[in-house]
Amino acid sequence: MNPTDKPNLPDLRVSYDQGELDEHSAPADPVELFTHWINDALAQKLPEPNAMSLATNGLDGTPTVRTVLLKGIDERGFHFYTNYESRKGHEIAADARASACFLWTDRHHQVCIKGAISKLDHADAEKYFASRPYGHQIGAWASAQSVVIPSREWLEQRDAELRAQYPEGQVPCPPHWGGYTLLPGEIEFWQGRVSRLHDRIRYRKEHGVWVKVRLSP
């Protein structure tokens, strides 16, 4: 690579000056604040505002992270769907502790969540699976997620075979595919501020009650 083509990373800077976050006026329930922020991201038409980085504990003890899509929030936690036989599925089965992070760069907002993951009922998976586009449904059958495969052509052939087997509107929910929910025990909100003196408000569940504090940036 020509030295002039290298990214000038040390000089990349953004001034964070779009808002503020105060621990005294923030709601008592962090899910209320999260809902307000993600609705704001939706209103601003940010790309994939429900994308969250999900970190789990690898089977070898090394943390792993990937991006999944948030598909619901209720008293059970933050929901996402995936292949149970994937790497993250095996990691969750071995250690349910996990973290997630949302970053809405244009709004200078970040939310980090720590908690425990459990499976949603299969009825939830079947309902959501039925709402997915046909190609996504076939993909859930075609992909043995995280497994080494011989080629792209092998995957496309598998996709074609399954389309022939399952016509549109007749694709069942795979038994190896379903939903998880991350029940938070801690949620931290980050609001970018001028001069890197950011606002950080942490909520932690203590004896069944959310306790919020301000953290130094």
Residue 21 CA, distance from chain mean position = 23
How would residue 5 be classed by pLDDT, with cut points 50, 70 and 90? confident
- In a 3-state reduction of DSSP, which class is residue 211? strand
Mean pLDDT of 192-201: 93
In the numeric block, which tokens belong to residue 86? 């994937």
Do residues 82 and 54 make contact, with C-beta atoms less than 8 angstroms apart? no
Beta-bridge partner residues of 182: 78, 117
Structure tokens at 19: 């808002």
Q: Reply yes or no on whether the pLDDT at 103 is more than 60.
A: yes
Catalytic residue among 196, 200, 204, 214: 196
Distance, CA of 118 to CA of 178 (rounded, Å): 11
Q: Give the E-state strand segments of the chain in sequence order.
A: 51-57, 63-69, 72-74, 77-83, 97-104, 109-119, 177-191, 199-206, 209-215
Q: How far apart are CA 109 and CA 131, in angstroms?
A: 30
pLDDT digits (tens, 9 = 90+) for 136-180: 999 999 999 999 999 999 999 999 999 999 999 999 999 999 999
> Would you give the distance in Å from CA 162 to the centre of its chain?
28
Model pLDDT, residue 114 = 98
What is each CA distance from 47 to 36, 44, 68, in whole angstroms?
A: 17, 9, 14
CA–CA distance, 110 with 169 (Å, rounded to integer)? 38
What phi and psi values does residue 145 have, to the nearest 5 degrees? -50, 135
Distance CA 170, CA 68 (A): 26
Which residues, listed in sequence order, are joined to residue 67 by a DSSP beta bridge? 53
| Confidence tier at 6 by pLDDT (50, 70, 90) | confident
pTM of structure: 0.91
Which sequence spans correspond to the domains of the chain?
16-132+177-215
Q: What is the pLDDT of residue 7?
A: 83
What per-residue confidence (pLDDT) applies to 10?
Answer: 81
What pLDDT band is residue 2 in, cutting at 50, 70 and 90? low
User: What pLDDT score was predicted for residue 13?
Assistant: 76
For the chain, helix (H) and strand (E) counts, in that order, are: 5, 9
| Average of per-residue pLDDT across 128-140 | 97
Which one-letter DSSP state was computed for residue 145?
T
Q: Say if CB 214 and CB 190 are below 8 A apart.
A: no
Q: Is 66 a catalytic residue?
A: no
Q: Cα-atom radius of gyration of the chain, to the nearest Å?
A: 20
- Is residue 179 within 8 Å of residue 71, measured between CB atoms? yes
Residue 165, pLDDT score: 98
| Domain 16-132+177-215 = CATH 2.40.30.170 | no
